[in-house]
Amino acid sequence: LLLDDELQQQEDHVVQLFQDTSLSVVFIKDIELAKVSKSFSKGVVLDEDEDAKVEGSGSGFIWDKFGHIVTNYHVVSKLATDTSGLQRCKVFLVDAKGNSFYREGKIIGFDPAYDLAVLKVDVDGYQVKPANLGQSNNLRVGQSCFAIGNPYGYENTLTTGVVSGLGREIPSPNGGAIRGAIQTDAAINAGNLTLIDVHSVGTSTSSNYQSSCKTETKFCKRTWTSTMPVISIFISTDGYIILGKYKAQVRSTWQIHFVLPKRGKKIYSSENNLGNSGGPLIDSYGHVIGVNTATFTKKGTGMSSGVNFAIPIDTVVRTVPYLIVYGTPYSNRF
């Protein structure tokens, strides 16, 4: 079977696109120390040892040559809301020549309303390659797109598809809605999103807590006020669910369900791999058109193949400068 010149060129284009853009993609590891370590407090990230626990991981991309990193808020929410002083964040990157290194990531700003956060890493001595930014206001359903993420450390992952829909509304970590989201059939593996059938909330999985609630709604409200670590399920009135570990504020338009671990037990920390969540969605020119954010699933479907979402880059471009300058969204800058 021969391969036509044009077909070969087309494959080479995707290969090249991956090689060009993956230098800007980083891997992010959330770490919780058992006790405050001296070396950590000096900004040097240690390898995990017996005293450090990986809490979660995800992807991000290099915003500028100063070492600002853009990712999802939910990838670094523990660090962002840390009061214990034990949360750390390790960022694995490559420089423009392909040399890999890692640094501690300091939280610069975050906006749960758009599920965005900015980290900064010390890139002294390295020349890093910021991602090329595109526009999302002129996207067209049907155009090709490419999701890049770094679920494992130094090795990026590519998935391909088309823009499936535009102007979608997806739930944000603060219980609001992110408008204008891009839908794609390029697989986004948001590893932390556990699919739990809604039925099981009312029956077996939640059995540990069933005794304390009468109706399903009460069940949710009660567990919500609990201070235990939870895996939360956000269910919109439109029937979407998203699951994660971040604490969300409750809006009346979302129903919220929990699946709680047994009392006194930690949730498996190794579950929190966020896959390529936080990584860039890229067009055929190699420009970032969105931030891969979540794989949702219709309430009750138990699957989500082909329904993936990204925060549009125009929203990111409007939000990130304020996060860098004020550490907070524009609306909160006073």
Does position 198 interact with Ca ion (CB under 5 A)? The reply is yes
Catalytic residue list: 74, 115, 277
Does position 197 interact with Ca ion (CB under 5 A)? The reply is yes
Q: Residue 297's beta-bridge partner residues?
A: 241
| Single residue of 189, 223, 232, 315 touching a second copy by CB under 8 A | 189
Encode burial over 26-36: b for 16+ CB neighbours within 10 A, e otherwise.
bbbbbbbbeee
| Single residue of 300, 321, 325, 332 touching a second copy by CB under 8 A | 300
| Pairwise CA distance, residues 185 & 290, whole Å | 14
Q: How far is the CB of 308 from a second copy (least distance, A)?
A: 9
Does position 199 interact with Ca ion (CB under 5 A)? The reply is yes
- Closer to a second copy by Cβ: residue 102 or 326: 102
The interface region with a second copy, picked from 59-67, 104-112, 113-121, 294-302 by CB under 8 A, is 294-302
Structure tokens at 38: 């001296």
- Closer to Ca ion by Cβ: residue 85 or 300: 300
Residues in binding contact with Ca ion, number by CB under 5 A: 6
| Pairwise CA distance, residues 184 & 161, whole Å | 7
The interface region with a second copy, picked from 235-243, 246-254, 309-317, 326-334 by CB under 8 A, is 235-243
Does position 300 interact with Ca ion (CB under 5 A)? The reply is yes
- The C-alpha angle with vertex 266 and arms to 260 and 269, in degrees rounded to 5, equals 105
The interface region with a second copy, picked from 24-32, 60-68, 89-97, 181-189 by CB under 8 A, is 181-189
Does position 250 interact with a second copy (CB under 8 A)? The reply is no
| Single residue of 62, 75, 188, 316 touching a second copy by CB under 8 A | 188
Whether the Cβ atoms of residue 132 and residue 284 lie closer than 8 Å to each other: no
Q: What residue type is 194 in one-letter code?
A: T
3-class SS of residue 134 = coil
Does position 36 interact with a second copy (CB under 8 A)? The reply is no
Does position 78 interact with a second copy (CB under 8 A)? The reply is no
- The C-alpha angle with vertex 148 and arms to 294 and 119, in degrees rounded to 5, equals 75
Does position 183 interact with a second copy (CB under 8 A)? The reply is yes
| Pairwise CA distance, residues 288 & 136, whole Å | 9
| Pairwise CA distance, residues 45 & 79, whole Å | 14
Q: Work out whether strand 144-149 and strand 157-171 pair parallel, antiparallel, or are unpaired.
A: antiparallel
DSSP string, 89-111: EEEEEE-TT--EEEEEPEEEEEE
Does position 24 interact with a second copy (CB under 8 A)? The reply is no
The interface region with Ca ion, picked from 109-117, 192-200, 202-210, 214-222 by CB under 5 A, is 192-200
Does position 167 interact with Ca ion (CB under 5 A)? The reply is no
| Pairwise CA distance, residues 76 & 326, whole Å | 18
Q: How far is the CB of 217 from Ca ion (least distance, A)?
A: 16
Whether the Cβ atoms of residue 24 and residue 62 lie closer than 8 Å to each other: yes
Q: How far is the CB of 225 from Ca ion (least distance, A)?
A: 22
| Single residue of 271, 298, 303, 318 touching Ca ion by CB under 5 A | 271
- Closer to a second copy by Cβ: residue 58 or 67: 58
Does position 194 interact with Ca ion (CB under 5 A)? The reply is yes
How many Cβ atoms sit within 10 Å of the Cβ of residue 40?
Answer: 18
Residues in contact with Ca ion by CB under 5 A are: 194, 197-199, 271, 300
